[in-house]
Amino acid sequence: MASKRDYYEVLGVGKDATADQIKSAYRKLAMKYHPDRNPGDKAAEEKFKEAAEAYDVLHDQEKRARYDQFGHQAFEGGAGGYGAGGMDMNDIFAAFGDLFGGRGGGGGFGGFGDFFGGGRAARPDPNAPMDGDDMSFQLEIDFEEALFGSERTIDLTVPGQCPECNGSGAAAGSKRVTCATCHGRGIVMGGGGFLRIQQTCPTCGGQGSTLEKPCRNCRGRGQVATPQHISLKIPAGIDNGSRLRVAGKGAGGIRGGANGDLYVLLRVNPSEIFERDGLDLGVDVPVSPIIAALGGKVDVPTPDGVAQLTIPAGTANGRIFRLRGKGVANLRGGTPGDLSARIVIEVPANLDRKQREALEAFQKLAKDSTFPQAQSLSNKLKIFYSHRDKLRK
Ligand SMILES: [Zn+2]
Ligand SMILES: [Zn+2]
Where along the chain do its domains lie? 7-87, 135-175+212-268, 274-345, 364-392
Reported as a single tens digit per residue, the pLDDT across 234-291 is 999 999 999 999 999 999 988 888 999 999 999 999 999 999 999 999 999 999 999 9
123 CA to middle of ligand 1, Å?
10
Residue closest to 301 by CA, chosen among 341, 336, 262: 341
Is 7-87's fold the same as 135-175+212-268's?
no
228 to 225, 249, 263: CA distances (angstroms) = 9, 8, 14
CATH, domain range 274-345: 2.60.260.20
How many angstroms does the Cα of residue 210 sit away from the middle of ligand 2?
Answer: 14
Q: Tell me the three state secondary structure of residue 259.
A: coil
What is the model's pLDDT at position 211? 86
Question: What is the whole-number distance in angstroms between the Cα of residue 195 and the centre of ligand 1?
Answer: 21
Say how many Å lie between the CA of residue 255 and the centre of ligand 2.
Answer: 12
Q: Quote the ligand 2 centre to 161 CA distance (angstroms).
A: 8
Instruction: Kindly give the distance from the C-alpha atom of residue 13 to the centroid of ligand 2, in angstroms, as a whole number.
Output: 53
Is the model's pLDDT at 294 over the cut of 80? Answer: yes
Task: Kindly give, in sequence order, each residue whose CB lies less than 8 Å from that of residue 315, ignoring residues fewer than 6 positions away.
Answer: 287, 292, 295, 343
Q: How far is the CA of 29 from the centre of ligand 1 (A)?
A: 27
Greater confidence, 386 or 98? 386
DSSP assignment letter at 318: T
Percent of the chain with pLDDT strictly greater than 70? 85
Q: Are 332 and 355 a contacting pair, CB within 8 Å?
A: no
User: What is the pLDDT at residue 209?
Assistant: 86
Q: How many A from CA of 157 to the centre of ligand 2?
A: 17
**Average pLDDT of the segment spanning 313-332:** 95
> For 62, how many CA atoms within 13 A lie in the half-sphere containing its CB?
2
CA of 216 to the centre of ligand 1 (A): 22
pLDDT at position 54 over 70: yes
Give residue 249 CA to ligand 2 midpoint distance, Å. Answer: 20
341 C-alpha to ligand 1 centroid (Å) = 68
Are 209 and 179 a contacting pair, CB within 8 Å? Answer: yes
What average pLDDT does the chain have? 85
Centroid of ligand 1 to alpha carbon of 159 (angstroms)? 24
Mean pLDDT on 64-72: 85
Nearest ligand, CA 206 = 1
Q: Which numbered ligand comes closest to the C-alpha of 184?
A: 1
Centroid of ligand 2 to alpha carbon of 20 (angstroms):
47
Dihedral over Cα of 176, 180, 181, 186: its sign = positive
Span 29-39, average pLDDT: 80
| Residue 61: per-residue pLDDT | 85
Four-CA torsion 86, 91, 93, 94, nearest 10 degrees:
-160
Backbone φ and ψ for 248, nearest 5 degrees, come out as 75, 10
Domain 7-87: which CATH number of 1.10.287.110, 3.40.470.10, 3.30.43.10, 3.90.1200.10? 1.10.287.110
Per-residue model confidence (pLDDT) at position 192: 59
Ligand with an atom nearest the CA of residue 255: 2
How far is ligand 2, taken at its centre, from the CA of residue 142, in Å? 40
Q: How far does residue 188's CA lie from ligand 1's centre (Å)?
A: 8
Of 86, 88, 69, 91, the C-alpha closest to 1 is 86
CA angle 303, 308, 310 (to 5 degrees): 135
Rounded Cα–Cα distance for residues 265 and 239 (Å): 10
Distance 222 CA to ligand 1 centre (A): 18
194 Cα to the center of ligand 1, angstroms: 23
CATH architecture of 135-175+212-268: Sandwich (2.60)
